[in-house]
Homo-oligomer: A and B are copies of this chain.
């Protein structure tokens, strides 16, 4: 009989997530049924979109259930299989529990090669965050050479690729990030033309006027709130605002109003469009081929923060929501 260590949702947060929202448990796992597999988690992905799932919102994914394990993107090794599609030793990626081990029916899991890339890359640059950046920037934002692109959370798991892809299209790319080291990384390694620290800058309108004097053609929005409002007011005619996330709003106990003068959308013919990348999985193959090749050719960079041990996941997630990670945040479990 296999035992697992897992983290369950102990209570729903009100405002900021705190450690008592989580509880560690060590239940025994059932024996494998037909078509089931036993997997051992190697890496777990922590992503901002998980925060809305902790609350009972009308949202795109059902909320996490109380007293049940949280789930997220993961890379795992198959230990035992009674499913003909998987064999012991396979490496798989997909949505799994915050757990060291689990019994799974294999649905939604995808096999990946053990040595094609560092395994954690399947949770970042070659996984959902990378695919999110690729779909949002290239298929929705469609930046053209000479246009100005703004990326909030410029060095985050999604932003770091979004900015580089815009740069490869010949756009001028400006971002913001939460400390000077991240801003330095954005301009030196990722190729951003400029990046400002949104914690030390106080007047977002003024800094955008300085860094994007002609306005903004494409906004890749990860943050929301005051930065989004300042960008909205500076969008150019026919501008596209790709709404990927709004991390600054996830922990609000009182909802924030939107930007002033919604008539701007008419005057400047803006297109503001939200997306959830799981609606667009048909593009995943093209993304992996394209970005995998860029990665192999050394044309894109990426950075991750690796935290060791499943029991560190809650603290790391709380830090993620405060912007304490640098690049993609993963937990090394196995």
Contact = CB atoms under 8 A, between A and B. Distances in A.
A212 to B, nearest CB: 15
Given A246-B262, A258-B258, A273 B270 contact: yes
A136 B21 CA distance: 46
Contact of A262 (B58, B59, B60, B224): B224
Contacts of A243: 262, 265-266
A185 to B, nearest CB: 26
A291 to B, nearest CB: 22
A52 to B, nearest CB: 7
Contact of A273 (B246, B256, B271, B275): B271
Contact of A250 (B255, B263, B270): B263
Given A60-B237, A237-B60, A257-B257, A269 B276 contact: yes
B266 A255 contact: no
A274 B267 CA distance: 7
A153 to B, nearest CB: 14
Contact of A266 (B257, B262, B265, B275): B275
Contacts of A257: 257-260
Interface in A48-99: 52, 57-60
Given A60-B237, A237-B60, A265 B256 contact: no
B246 A263 contact: yes
Contact of A249 (B60, B237, B246, B262): B262
A268 interface: yes
Contact size range, A: 35 or more
A246 B147 CA distance: 28
B271 A271 contact: yes
A228 interface: yes
A64 to B, nearest CB: 15
A272 interface: yes
Contact of A258 (B52, B250, B259, B275): B259
Contact of A58 (B246, B267, B273, B275): B267
In this complex, the member of A263, A265, A270 whose beta carbon has the largest number of chain B beta carbons within 10 angstroms is A263
A60 B267 contact: yes
A264 B59 CA distance: 8
Interface of A: 52, 57-60, 224, 228, 237, 243-246, 249-250, 255-276, 279
Closest 8 pairs between A and B when the two form their complex, measured CB to CB: A258-B258, A257-B257, A265-B274, A266-B274, A246-B263, A255-B260, A272-B272, A243-B265
